[in-house]
Structure 1
Amino acid sequence: MCALWDGIESRDHLFSKCAYSKQIWSFILHICSIERDTLDWKAELQWLCANLKGKSLLVFFLKLAWSSFVYHVWEERNRRKFCSVARSRDSLLHCIREDYKFVYKISL
């Protein structure tokens, strides 16, 4: 079973079908002014590869967002599965925001 919400755990479920992670990725897309539904794992990667080209600030932001999203969702899965500790969606989004603050500080 999925450690985050419901369903059978798989990569596709964890990162693209689980209600917990879908809401987080949807919120990140919304922050970037990208209004679209989340896609399944393969389609999301295809969309990212097709759209994350160039050196614009939005491209940089989305690359960091995707990496941070995958890292923190996996970390949350492990926390729940092995430590019986759960964070809220807002708490996880806060962790992702902190990643941006860190990158911004070291790039100055």
Structure 2
Amino acid sequence: MNFPTTVDPTWQTIHKGQVHAVGVVESKLCPLCGIEHESIDHHFFQCSFSSSIWSKLLLWQGDRRPTMKWQEEIQWAVLNANGKSVKATTYRASIVACAYLIWQDRNTRVTQQKRRSHEQITRLILQEVACTSSLSLKLASIMREQNLYP
């Protein structure tokens, strides 16, 4: 899976919390749940759709805490997932994949009226993160063997 390396204008608008201001969406309701007004906190991870994905990913990582608002999750990540451990790497890969695929599904719903279930998105994220984590473990092992990594 190829995640974007640059921030496009749409993402910048979302990050500012002005989701509907892009002009593509007439309704201010979240395209994922259709219940609440769309905002960055709602979209990541207060929406029932995205919250179900993130809570499954947290459980998969052995984390039993409830989902938090976007800024709280980012603050938690800064404090708890900034190291080089497998757990920190897995968490960071999970949050990036989760945000990317939820945002992608949101856009697909708006522009093409196609949707994936939260189970499909969760499966895609788990596959990607498992691959990334196992690759990271292999790379770290090789680097240690060659005395390139502490």
Measured at CA, do residues 104 and 54 of structure 1 come closer, stay the same or move farther in structure 2, by a change above 3 Å?
Answer: closer
**Count of residue pairs brought into register by the alignment:** 108
Give the alignment of 1:1-108 within 5 angstroms.
1-5=29-33, 6-103=35-132, 108=138
* Cα distance in structure 1, aligned partners of 2:54 and 2:37: 20
Ranges in structure 2 where 5+ consecutive residues have no aligned partner = 1-28, 139-150
Structure that is richer in helix per residue: 1
Question: Which has the larger Rg?
Answer: 2
Q: Residue type of the partner of 2:42? A: H
Mapped partners of 1:61, 1:43: distance in 2? 18
The answer to whether the Cα contact below 8 Å between 2:89 and 2:133 also exists between their aligned partners in 1 is: no
Q: Structure 1: which 4+ aligned runs deviate by more than 6 Å?
A: none
Write out per-residue CA displacement over residues 20-77 of structure 1, whole angstroms, 9 at most, x where no aligned residue: 0011111111011110111111111111110012211111100100100000000010
Identity of aligned residues (%): 30
**Greater mean alpha carbon deviation, residues 65-74 or residues 45-54:** 45-54
Tell me which amino acid in the other structure corresponds to 2:129: Y
2:61 corresponds to which letter in structure 1?
Answer: C
Q: Which amino acid aligns with 1:12?
A: D
Give the TM-score of the pair, scaled to structure 1: 0.91
TM-score norm. by structure 2 comes to: 0.67
> 1:104 offset after TM fit, Å?
5.3
